[in-house]
């Protein structure tokens, strides 16, 4: 395996300078494209290691650092700052990156994988652009904006009946992965309130039946989550999302739930199983 990274920049709809990445294996010819939309408080390069088996199997992987994240944030002080219309602009950034990937691989299927906050952006993208991709994968996802009652601090969530060792134990049962996240200077921050209105507008779209009805009915969708992921609140916030997709008549919906799994299933103790399941679904859709 000889993975090569190509880092590049591309312009967002408002002219913002967005950091992008492309990973391929020099020893194989790509037969499909996977685009990754990362989560809140992290960055694209965290996906290179867990997705290395896919790259070695002939998938070209594209990803970007969202606004206020990774190499797109101009300074450390800008981490978490999406800007005034940030949520809507990130969705457009994802569409633009998909177009770039299509231009470089015009004859290959392209599947979008969104994790956590990236999954919410991906959910929004397919309202208007479901024909621009060949499949959608949602990881660590839920029905965004459906939470009721007081917000629980994630660093205080008791998992497996134990007091958390760190504020980020909810990410994974693997202490090494949690420690690597904590040690990464481009991880662990929260969203600034500059884009609160924009996030509210996107959240309202995500639960609008009229918006969901715009998704093409035959779009393959794969949802995979852990049942101990506090983001989905013991799966209570997963059910509305799945129910809405089924009510909209989507005909190719697969849901995989991993017992005991926390938020980052690609970095969990059973990551080999998770990646193998993901690969099997991706290869089926890629044909």
229 a catalytic residue: yes
* Active-site choice (66, 105, 115, 116): 116
| Residue 139: active-site member | no
Catalytic residue among 25, 64, 169, 229: 229
Helix 196-206 × helix 117-129 angle, to 10°: 60
Count other Cβ atoms within 10 Å, centred on residue 247: 11
DSSP line for 25-81: ETTS---EEEEEE--TT--GGGGTTTTHHHHHTTEEEEEEPPTTSGGGSSSGGGTT-
Whether 263 is a known active-site residue: answer yes
Give me the active site residues, please.
Answer: 116, 229, 263
């Amino acid at each position: 395996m000889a993975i090569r990274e190509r880092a590049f920049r591309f312009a967002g709809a408002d002219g913002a300078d967005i950091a992008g990445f492309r990973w391929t294996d020099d020893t194989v010819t790509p037969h499909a494209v996977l685009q990754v939309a990362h989560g809140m408080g992290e960055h694209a390069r965290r996906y290179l290691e867990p997705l290395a088996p896919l790259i070695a199997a002939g998938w070209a992987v594209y990803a970007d650092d969202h606004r206020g994240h990774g190499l797109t944030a101009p300074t450390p002080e800008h981490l978490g700052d999406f800007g005034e219309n940030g949520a809507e602009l990130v969705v457009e950034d994802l569409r633009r990156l998909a177009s770039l990937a299509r231009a470089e691989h015009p004859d290959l299927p392209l599947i979008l994988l969104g994790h956590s906050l990236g999954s919410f952006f991906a959910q929004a993208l397919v309202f208007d652009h479901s024909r621009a991709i060949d499949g959608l994968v949602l990881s660590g996802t839920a029905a965004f904006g459906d939470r009721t009652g007081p917000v629980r601090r994630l660093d205080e969530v008791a998992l497996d009946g134990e007091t958390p060792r760190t504020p980020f134990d909810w990410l994974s049962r693997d202490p090494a992965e949690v420690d690597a996240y904590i040690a990464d200077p481009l991880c662990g921050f929260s969203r600034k309130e500059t884009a609160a209105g924009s996030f509210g507008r996107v959240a309202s779209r995500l639960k609008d039946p009229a918006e969901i009805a715009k998704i093409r009915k035959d779009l393959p969708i794969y949802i995979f989550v852990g049942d101990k992921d506090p983001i989905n609140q013991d799966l209570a916030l997963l059910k509305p999302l799945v129910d809405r997709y089924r009510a909209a008549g989507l005909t190719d919906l697969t849901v995989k739930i991993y017992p005991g799994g926390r938020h980052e299933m690609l970095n969990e103790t059973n990551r080999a199983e998770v990646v193998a399941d993901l690969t099997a679904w991706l290869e089926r859709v890629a044909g």
